[in-house]
Each structure stands twice: as structure tokens, then as C-alpha cells.
Homo-oligomer: A and B are copies of this chain.
Amino acid sequence: MKMVTAIIQPKRLSDVREALSEIEVTGITATEVKGFGRQKGHTELYRGAEFVVEFLPKVKLEIAITDEQLEQVIETIIKACKINGGKIGDGKIFVSSLEQVIRIRTGETGPEAV
């Protein structure tokens, strides 16, 4: 099993979620994060003093899937995020391996638990 971690623009959240449910991904965990990447933060102003907000709001999605789903999930995310063409700040996807997944309610483990 794999854990796909995608850092995306907050405004893309609902697009990505919809796209993923169409390919039958049934579970997602979303976290509000602050991201710092190539995209430069924006400038704010306070009492006349400018300052750069370096960490921009992003959403982190964690999606546990079976090995077979991996390719499709990645493609789906990329497509949903690039709805308006690719822009800096669109985000990144990280993939790592999962040793075990357990559904607490039933105690099921492995791919069925995903």
C-alpha cells in the first residue's frame, strides 16, 4: 500500500476531492498547512510597513491507497490541480510506502482497510 501526500492550493480542494471520488478513492485526510516553495509569498502591509508573508496557506491531502491505484490517483490529482493550466504554487505530490493499514472499527487490515 502507498501513502500519497499532495500539497495543493486551498482553492483546488473541492476539485481534487470530486475527481478522486470519481475514481473510487474513499478516504482522504486533509490538513491546513503553510507552504514555502519556489512560489514567493505575497506582501502585506501593516501600519505602513511592508512585510512578506513567506509561508502561504496550502492544503495537505493524505490518501492511503493500494499499489494498483497509485498511477491513476497521481494523474487524477495532477489533472484536477491544473484545471487552469499549471502555475507556480500548484503544489507537489510525495509518495511513500505503507507497511500496514488498519480500520479501527472492524479491525480489518491491509488493502481492504484502505
Q: Please report A residues at the B interface, Cβ cutoff 8 Å.
A: 2-3, 6-8, 17, 26-38, 54-55, 58, 60, 64, 74, 77-78, 81-82, 86-88, 90-107, 113
Contacts and interface: CB of A to CB of B under 8 A. Distances in A.
A33 B29 contact: yes
B2 A99 contact: yes
Contact of A30 (B28, B29, B34, B92): B34
A36 B31 contact: no
A18 to B, nearest CB: 10
Given A26-B38, A92-B113, A96-B98, 6 more contacts: A6-B104, A78-B104, A88-B105, A93-B104, A95-B101, A95-B102
